[in-house]
Amino acid sequence: MAKGQGMRCRACKQNALFVIFAAFYRETHNLCEDYEFAFRFKTWHGLGKYEDKCGDMTNAFLNMLATRDWILTDGATGTNLFAMGLESGDAPEFWNETHPQNITKLYQMAVDAGSDLFLTNSFGGNASRLKLHNAGHRARELSRISAELGREVADKAGRAVVVAGSVGPTGDIMQPVGSLSHADAVEIFHEQADGLKEGGADVLWLETISAPEEYLAAAEAFSKVDLPWVGTMSFDTAGRTMMGVTSKAMVEMVANIPNAPVAFGANCGTGAADILRTVLGFAAESPAQAIVSKGNAGIPQYVDGHICYNGTPELMAHYAVMARNAGAKIIGGCCGTMPAHLTSMRAALENTPKGAAPTLEEIVEKIGPFTSASDGTGSDAAEPRARRGRRNRD
C-alpha cells in the first residue's frame, strides 16, 4: 500500500482484526496492494462499487483516488475562455451549446497539458445563476451538455481522464441572513447534479463556496445522486472564507457531514502562497479525506484594461510540489492557470521526489509573500512578515 493511504481511513476506527482479514483476503485472492485501501474505503464510506480486482472499480475517480499518489487537475476556465473570445458578463455555459468546439478545445488543452481530471464548463450552471440571463429553466440541460462534451474528450484520451462536474455557488445568501432557504438550495444543486450525471460526469465537484450552509445544502443534494463528490471552499479573506470559515473549521464540518465528500480542500482565493498555508492547516487536523489544492496562478493585476495573473509556469511548478508536500493529493490551478502552467506542474510532480512539508518561511521564499498576516486559526504567530517585493526564482 502506498505510504499514507491507510491513514486516510483513520476516522473509520477499524480494528486490527479487520486489517488482518483484509491483508489475508488480498493475498489469497491475488489482488493488487491497493485493494485493501479500496475495500476498506468502500466498506466504511459506502462509496462506489468494486469488483474483485483493484483496477475494476466502476467509478474512474474513486479508482484514481485509491491508486495514485497525486492527481493533477485542470487550470482556469474563465481565463482560457476569455482568450477565445468570451465577453465579460456573458454566461460561459451558453457556449456549451453555441460554441461547443471551444469548450471541447478547453477540455482538450487540459488533457494535452497532462491533467488527469478536468472540470466541466458548468460553474455558473445552476438555476439561480442562470436566471440572471433569463435561462434558469435550462440549468439541467446546459449542465448535461457540458458533461457530454467532456465525456467525449475523456473517452478519446488514451489514458484515464476523469470528468468532474463543476458546481459553483448559487450567488444568493442563505437564510437567516439572506433569502435563500435550505430547501431551495438543495433543489437548485440537485437539479444541476442530475444534469451533470446524465451527461457522463464521473464525480460532482463543488467549488468556490464561502458559506458552510451552502456547502451543507450541496452535500444533501448530492446524496440524492449516485455519484461521489468533492467540495472546495475559497479562503480569500485573511485566511478565511468570506463567511469566516477557517481551514480547521472546514475539516470539522466535513467530518460531520452524513454524505461526506471523498475529497475536500481549497480553490481560488488570493494567491498560491496563501492556499499553501491553508493546505497546511487542513493537514494539521489529520482529515480522513484527500485534500485538494487548486490555487490561482499568482496574484491578479490590472494591465491595459485586462486582469492578468503574475504567476509563471516555474512558480506554479514550485507551488505544485509544495502543495503535494504540504498534504494535498489533488493538485491543480484556478484563475490565470493556462496549459503552460499545467505542463510545468506535471513535470515537477513527476520528477521531484516527495519531501517534507514546507515551512511558512520556505513558502515565502519560493512562492512569495502572504496577503495577510494570519490564516485565521491563530496558530501562525511565528509566521514571517510578508515582504513587499518578490525574490527572483529560477
Looking at residue 388, its pLDDT comes to: 31
Distance, CA of 140 to chain centre: 22
Half-sphere exposure of 67 (CA within 13 A, CB side): 17
Mutual angle of helices 247-255 and 212-222, in 10-degree steps: 30
Report the alpha-carbon distance of residue 251 to residue 331 in Å, rounded: 18
Could you tell me the three cell numbers for 263? 475529497
Domains of the chain: 6-58 (no CATH), 69-366 (3.20.20.330)
Residues 6 or more apart whose CB falls under 8 angstroms from that of 175 comprise 181, 182
Q: Which three cell numbers stand for residue 179?
A: 433569502
- If DSSP states are collapsed to H, E and C, what string results for 33-58? CCHHHHHHHHHHHCCCCCCCCHHHCC
Inter-residue contact 186 to 131 (CB < 8 Å): no
Digit-by-digit pLDDT tens for the chain (394 residues) are: 343 333 333 333 333 333 333 333 333 333 333 333 333 333 333 343 323 333 334 799 999 999 999 999 999 999 999 999 999 899 999 999 999 999 999 999 999 999 999 999 999 999 999 999 999 999 999 999 999 999 999 999 999 999 999 999 999 999 999 999 999 999 999 999 999 999 999 999 999 999 999 999 999 999 999 999 999 999 999 999 999 999 999 999 999 999 999 999 999 999 999 999 999 999 999 999 999 999 999 888 878 777 788 899 999 999 999 999 999 999 999 999 999 999 999 999 999 999 999 999 999 999 999 999 988 886 543 343 333 333 333 3
Q: Give the pLDDT of residue 308.
A: 81
Burial class (CB in 10 A: 0-12, 13-18, 19+), 10: exposed
Region for 244 from its dihedrals, namely left if φ exceeds 0, alpha if ψ lies in -120 to 50, beta otherwise: left
CA gap 220, 225 in Å, rounded:
10
